[in-house]
Structure 1
Amino acid sequence: MRVEGTRTRFSQRHPLLFGVMMIILAVALFSGAMAFFRFMGWTPQGLSGLGKDKVGIVHVEGMILDSTDVVEWIRTLEEDASVKGVLLRVNSPGGAIAPSQEIYAAVKNLNQVKPVVASYGSLAASGGYYCSCPAELIYANPGSVTASIGVMAEFVTVTEALEKLGIKPEVLTTGKYKAAGTPMRELSDEQREQMQGLMQDLHDQFVDHVAEARGMDRERVAAIADGRAVTGRQALALGLVDQLGTRYDAIRKLKELAGIQGKAALLEGPEKDIPFVQQLLGTLKIDISSAMPNGWSFSYK
């Protein structure tokens, strides 16, 4: 008479693999559920209601090095007829010039379709201020740091260090301005003058856009466009923001401008790609948004 051995379950034979599979399944179900709730207009704040008016929220955070996600989210909210107004929540020290200008243009266009109110967190300086100034109204906390209207160029030269190592670099160009900013050669007087002229034009664009968006005399903006950072309270006195208040105050005013009565659904974006481990544990935070590209660059910061 043969006695058959007891069959062990997969979870018993491979407990670690089984655990990982269950975690992946749980995260997939959670992500799917959250996507469904966002689509239906549910928010953690409890401002829900299928079929009700919605308020869009655009987050501009960290160094502005690429505008693609923010601009696409702005256009999504612009095309959604159920979104009656948009809050631009800014917490950024600035960044690259072209992306700041692209967000500026998107905000300007959006504000012509539906009201946009900007709300500043800890920091909305330089490019962070630039991209948000076309909003209908700007709210800042008294301690928010903003303005810093100006342009900065930075690069590193390593000629002296190479000379100490007995290394003599050769840089060949087809024009005297082509190698300006290379770390292998010091700037010539002509290159420095040309670079300064380029920066001045970028600075003038910044001043022009702020004056246009804020309805201020250009001379008034130019007088404070010396790179100084100011608090929200100082910015109010200078005419750079409209009100002192919190994110909640800004949303309340936005609902008033949009004609929304009672509660509204909040649609926040753009969505960020969160690492799997961070989704699982909710504790790992990796921020590389402040990393700048090698070499030199112009930036609003």
Structure 2
Amino acid sequence: MKRVYWKFFVTACLVVLGLVTRSVSAVSPTPTPSGILIPDKASTTSSDTTKKIEDLKERLATKVTQLRQQERRAVFGTVKSTSISTFTVETKTKDVKIELTDDMKVIQYLKGKRTVLSSDDIEKGDTVVVFGVYDTTLDLLKGSVVFIQNAIPTRVWGLVTSVDREEFTMTVASVTNQTYVVDIEKSTKAFWWDKDKKAIAKSGFSKITVGDTVHIIGTPVPKKEQRVSADRILSTGNITRAPTTQPTSPPASPQPTQTREASGGASPTATKKPTLTPTKKPTVTPTP
């Protein structure tokens, strides 16, 4: 029994040793007849990963270069000139050329509402904010969004001298001795000072009368001097006790008839009246 057990043990050890030898030979590189070692699968996978990493680095470097050449920017200034495909914005530092792209949006707030316009509405003198991608190689900004800002608000403070209910306008004589025509828009908000409550309350154009003192905030009407489109109006009433009737042109007075007067010391010459000469009657001689 001991001999059989011993033989079985030795056989098992030889089998295990053979399996270990096979696994080691499978992992180690196999020599070729020419003496060149064939790399295993692990080394091949490592080489492919290295190539992928290098390729990724090159693509990242190319993308960074492109981003440096084209970066998002915003430009604020005044439109200096316009053309079919571009317009130039004058900023505090330099002039920037803006390219008109097909998908560019032009937006402006008109009468309190956001309004979408077209590139044809961009005019010389407009104050704009342009967002887009700046190309350093071409030295221009490819515009994506253009905001046209409204004109700087104008403040008018003065006395109402006339009111036109049909045209929705009123004339204001300012404290600077200037006369303004104020347009009342649908978006115009009117308020008045409530003396009793000592607070500002909502009002309307119909409550504004001649003689009221008004404070107006609005925007200048293009191409019309001394004309303002009102955004807000605050009326404090007739605090100056000014006349409440609109001035009218006085009717033409009849001109008095002038009489000629003698010049110098000469006396007027009297008109001679015709004198009547009496006709003589024939005398009758009596016969004897």
TM-score tier, shorter chain, comes to under 0.3
TM-score, with structure 1 as normaliser: 0.21
Higher percent of residues as helix? 1
TM-score, with structure 2 as normaliser: 0.21
Q: Which has the higher contact order (CA 8 A, sep 6+)?
A: 1
Higher percent of residues as strand? 2
